[in-house]
Amino acid sequence: GSGGGPKIFICGHMDEVGFMVTKITEKGFIEFQTLGGWWGQVMLAQQVEIKTQAGKIIHGVIGSKPPHVLTQEARNKPYDVKEMFIDIGATSEEEAKGWGIRPGDMITPYIEYKRMNDSKFLLAKAWDNRVGTAVSLRVLENLAKEGHDNCLFAGSDVMEEVGLRGARTSTHLVNPDIAIALDTGTAGDTPGMTPKEADSVLGKGPQVLIFDASMIPHKKLLNFVTNVAEELEIPFQYTVIAGGGTDAGMMHLTRNGVPSIAITVPVRYLHSHTSVIHEDDYLNTVKLVTEVVRRLDAEAVKELLSY
């Protein structure tokens, strides 16, 4: 931007839910700590990658017992995460250490990206929140092609999944006038989900977050965003996250307070190895955020801040 106008900060966190090596057993199996919100039911028999200090990738799988040896009671009981382990194909602690694995090494889910059956449904790990980072980059690209009357900052925070920590420092550094968190939200369009739990539908547009456990968005900024969407006929969905938060939860508390909002892409199967988004939702999120930022000039921001 021109650099003379208000500072606008858009940010999608780069980290994903994962694990950390806590111990290598005598037989070479890996004990681990979860990082971020995991449900044990989605973890067993899933593939992972361990990154060593030297940058080497070690492939592994979260071990599970075959049903042949389980009692009926055990089959019906959720498996305790504390009892899980990772099999990396090592036969001893010494062999695992020889591969470079140490306590504190990061572990991430592993699957391959796929476009599902030539549709607009895209399957991958870590849409939460690689897609938010992708949105911020596309918005930068769009606005770099033209002049606009503000100064745009885009970031990729870390440690969102373990407490919104990166947003605290990045927002303090930028000291923006307006902040927009770009993240993911829960889709409710699969069997078993109820409208009370989540009512967003893939393909129906980005979600505008009206409440979460970390923040209630700035009311004037919320109205500004939805008015832009309605004016340009960009589809969007209101959403509530009662049991979680986004980086906006830290953004709005920075310094003397920053008007903030979260705009999210709906995702099926959040916080698991495999998640699904709709391509149109991603593209419409890019379009909405681009148009919102384009309109946040000095006059618009002054109006947002006046009461």
**Number of separate domains in the chain:** 2
Q: How many C-beta atoms surround the C-beta of residue 241 within 10 A?
A: 21
Q: How many C-beta atoms surround the C-beta of residue 234 within 10 A?
A: 18
Same domain, 105 and 210: no
Same domain, 189 and 226: yes
- 64, 83, 109 - which closes a domain: 109
- Is residue 252 one of the residues assigned to a domain? yes
Same domain, 220 and 101: no
CATH of the domain at 53: 2.40.30.40
Q: How many C-beta atoms surround the C-beta of residue 171 within 10 A?
A: 27
- Is residue 118 one of the residues assigned to a domain? no
Same domain, 149 and 79: no
What pLDDT is attached to residue 5?
Answer: 85
Number of H helices, E strands in the chain: 8, 15
Same domain, 11 and 160: yes
- Is residue 117 one of the residues assigned to a domain? no
- Is residue 116 one of the residues assigned to a domain? no
Question: Of these residues, 93, 95, 146, 160, which one is catalytic?
Answer: 160
- Which of 234, 224, 37 lies closest to 128 in space, CA to CA? 37
The structure tokens 């109820």 sit at: 194
CATH of the domain at 184: 3.40.630.10
Same domain, 50 and 104: yes
Same domain, 85 and 229: no
Same domain, 271 and 158: yes
How far is Cα 156 from Cα 170, in angstroms, rounded to an integer?
Answer: 9
Same domain, 95 and 135: no
- Is residue 121 one of the residues assigned to a domain? no
- 109, 135, 154 - which closes a domain: 109
How far is Cα 188 from Cα 201, in angstroms, rounded to an integer?
Answer: 6
Same domain, 156 and 286: yes
Which residues fall within 8 angstroms of residue 262, CB to CB, at 6 or more apart? 180, 181, 182, 183, 209, 212, 215, 217, 246, 247, 248
Q: Which two tokens stand for residue 144?
A: 């770099």
Identify whether the C-beta of residue 154 lies closer than 8 Å to the C-beta of residue 136.
yes
- 48, 80, 109 - which closes a domain: 109
- Is residue 138 one of the residues assigned to a domain? yes
75 is in which domain, residue-wise?
18-109
Identify whether the C-beta of residue 37 lies closer than 8 Å to the C-beta of residue 267.
no
**pTM score, two decimals?**
0.94
What pLDDT is attached to residue 104?
Answer: 98
How far is Cα 238 from Cα 225, in angstroms, rounded to an integer?
Answer: 11
How far is Cα 67 from Cα 288, in angstroms, rounded to an integer?
Answer: 49
* Partner residues linked to 16 by β-bridges: none
Same domain, 29 and 82: yes
Specify whether 160 is catalytic: yes
Print pLDDT tens along the chain (307 aa).
Answer: 666 789 999 999 999 999 999 999 999 999 999 999 999 999 999 999 999 999 999 999 999 888 888 888 888 888 889 999 999 999 999 999 999 999 999 999 999 999 999 899 999 999 999 999 999 999 999 999 887 789 999 989 999 999 899 999 999 999 999 999 999 999 999 999 999 999 999 999 999 999 998 999 999 999 999 999 999 999 999 999 888 899 999 999 999 999 999 999 999 999 999 999 999 999 999 999 999 999 999 999 999 999 8
- Is residue 50 one of the residues assigned to a domain? yes
- Is residue 115 one of the residues assigned to a domain? no
How far is Cα 42 from Cα 38, in angstroms, rounded to an integer?
Answer: 8
Same domain, 160 and 287: yes
What pLDDT is attached to residue 2?
Answer: 63
CA distances from 12 to 29, 40, 158, 180, 279 (A): 34, 26, 9, 9, 17
The structure tokens 């111990």 sit at: 23
Which residues fall within 8 angstroms of residue 44, CB to CB, at 6 or more apart? 62, 63, 64, 79, 84
Which residues fall within 8 angstroms of residue 245, CB to CB, at 6 or more apart? 164, 212, 213, 214, 215
